[in-house]
């Protein structure tokens, strides 16, 4: 992996470390991570539970601050930014899909999709949200509340929400983790379709080897280290275990 900052990178990470203080002492979760992700590229991060996948995702998405090292998101270095500036950056360039959907349970499907667009001050948020929901096949569910939707439908709403602002980078944390295999498959199809249509960079954290294989690159987190996965052995074992 490269230690050089590349100009056409969506994400560039150099010597990233993350440690936390616990009762037993300091625990280093991420050790010397270097990574470069090209614009429009799709990358899967695999690894066993507790290997630091979600920690890395949090850092890449500017949700957390590293102990040391540097991250460039679409060419912008994160370390000099304060929380407000990071939020502004996320608003412009980043979107998310979560395992637990993270929909606002008191808002309708349409209103949930509108949220990021409204935060970004998009004037025709409602029309765009409607179009997105039609695109994910939920035109008949616009006014439904999350609890009135199935798990698969909820994740489709979350996908519509993720793409409404046409993000540069999309982070997906176990997007099919809460779904059965049929629904999981459908959601994955939809995710990759939309990703290709919008040329979004996709960072996907998953246990699912088959899902990971649909990405252009597969990386494995193991004991705080990130490696290119060429043999598929480790993730396969993990997938079987899962």
Partner 1 sequence: MELSLAWRLFKRELQQGQLLLIILAITLAVLSVSGLARVSERLQVAITGQASQFIAADRIIDSPVKIDAAILTKAEDLRLKHVTNMQFNSMVYSGDKFQLVTVRAVETGYPLKGDIELTSGKTKALPQAGEIWFETRLGGLLGYPKTIELGNSEFVLSNEISRLPDAGFNPFASSPVVLMRMEDVAKTGVIQPGSRVTYLYQFAGDEASLTAFEQSVKPLLNSTQRWVDVQSGDSPIAGAVKRAERFLLLASLMGIALACAAIGIAAQRYCQRHYDVVAMLKTFGASAKQIRLLFGTHLLLVTLMGIVLGLIGGVLLDLGISYLLPPEIAAYSPPLTRPLLLGVSTGLISAFMFSAYPLMRLLAIPPLRVLQRQLEGLQLGMWLHLLLSLGAMALLGYLYSQSWALTLTVVAAVLLLGVLLSVLGFVMIRLGHSVGMKTTNPLQLALAGLRRRARQNAVQLVGFSAALVLLLTILALRQDLLNEWQKQLPENAPNYFLVNIAPDDAKPLNDFMTAKGIVATDIYPVIRGRLTQINGEALISNEQSEAGEKGRVGISRELNLTWRNTLPANNELLEGHFNQAADEVSVESGVAERLGIAIGDKLTYVIDNQELTVKVASIRAVHWETLQPNFFMIFTEEALAPFAYTSMASFYLNDQQATNDQSTNDPATNGQALSADGTPKDAVILALIQQFPTISIIDVGAMVGQLRQIIEQVSLSLTLVLALVLLASALVLIAQTEAGMATRQRELAVLRTFGASGWLLRSATGLEFALLGGIAGVLAVIVAEFALYLLKTQVFELNVYMHWPWWGIAPVSGALIVALLGVWRCRQLLSQSCSELLKADS
**Residues at the interface with partner 1 (CB under 8 A):** 54, 57-58, 61, 63-64, 83-84, 87-92, 94-96, 98, 100, 102, 104-108, 111, 115-116, 118-121, 145, 147, 173
Give the residue with the Cβ less far from partner 1, 2 or 106. Answer: 106
Facing residues of 30 across strands?
18
Residue 236 CB, nearest approach to partner 1 (Å): 25
Residue 215 CB, nearest approach to partner 1 (Å): 20
Residue 25 CB, nearest approach to partner 1 (Å): 20
Q: Name residues whose C-beta falls within 8 Å of residue 202's C-beta, 6 or more positions apart in sequence.
A: 41, 42, 43, 169, 170, 172, 191, 192, 195, 215
Give the residue with the Cβ less far from partner 1, 104 or 237. Answer: 104
Give the residue with the Cβ less far from partner 1, 162 or 191. Answer: 162
Give the residue with the Cβ less far from partner 1, 91 or 185. Answer: 91
Give the residue with the Cβ less far from partner 1, 2 or 198. Answer: 198
- Reported as type and span, the H/E element at residue 183 is helix 181-198
Q: Compute how many other C-beta atoms are within 10 angstroms of the C-beta atom of residue 232.
A: 15
Residue 149 CB, nearest approach to partner 1 (Å): 11
Residue 146 CB, nearest approach to partner 1 (Å): 9
Closest CA to 35 of 48, 26, 44: 44
User: b/e map of 4-37 (b: 16 or more CB within 10 Å)?
Assistant: eeeeebbbbbbebbbbeeeeeeeeebbeebebbb
The burial of 65, by beta-carbon neighbours within 10 Å (0-12 exposed, 13-18 middle, 19 or more buried), is given as: middle
Give the residue with the Cβ less far from partner 1, 90 or 141. Answer: 90
Torsion, Cα of 150, 151, 156, 162 (10° steps):
140
Give the residue with the Cβ less far from partner 1, 94 or 136. Answer: 94
Residue 94 CB, nearest approach to partner 1 (Å): 7
Q: Name residues whose C-beta falls within 8 Å of residue 163's C-beta, 6 or more positions apart in sequence.
A: 95, 132, 170, 194, 198, 200
SS3 132: helix
Residue 53 CB, nearest approach to partner 1 (Å): 10
SS3 137: coil
Radius of gyration, alpha carbons of the chain: 18
């Amino acid at each position: 992996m490269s230690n050089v900052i590349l100009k056409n990178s969506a994400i560039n990470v150099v010597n990233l470390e993350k440690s936390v203080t616990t009762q037993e002492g300091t625990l280093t979760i991420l050790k010397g991570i270097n990574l470069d992700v090209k614009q429009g590229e799709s990358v899967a991060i695999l690894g066993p539970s507790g290997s630091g996948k979600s920690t890395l995702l949090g850092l890449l998405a500017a949700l957390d601050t590293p102990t040391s090292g540097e991250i460039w998101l679409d060419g912008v270095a994160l370390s000099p930014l304060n929380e407000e500036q990071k939020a502004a950056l996320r608003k412009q360039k980043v979107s998310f899909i979560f395992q637990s959907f993270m929909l606002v349970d008191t808002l309708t499907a349409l209103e949930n999709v509108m949220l990021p667009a409204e935060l970004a001050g998009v004037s025709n948020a409602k029309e765009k949200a409607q179009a997105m929901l039609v695109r994910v096949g939920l035109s008949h569910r616009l006014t439904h509340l999350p609890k009135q939707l199935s798990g698969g439908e909820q994740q489709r709403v979350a996908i519509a929400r993720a793409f409404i602002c046409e993000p540069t980078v999309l982070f997906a944390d176990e997007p099919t983790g809460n779904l059965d295999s049929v629904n999981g498959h459908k959601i994955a199809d939809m995710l990759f379709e939309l990703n290709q249509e919008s040329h979004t960079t996709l960072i996907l954290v998953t246990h699912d080897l088959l899902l990971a294989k649909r990405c252009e690159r597969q990386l494995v987190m193991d004991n705080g280290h990130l490696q290119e996965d060429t043999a598929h052995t480790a993730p396969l074992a993990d997938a079987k275990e899962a």
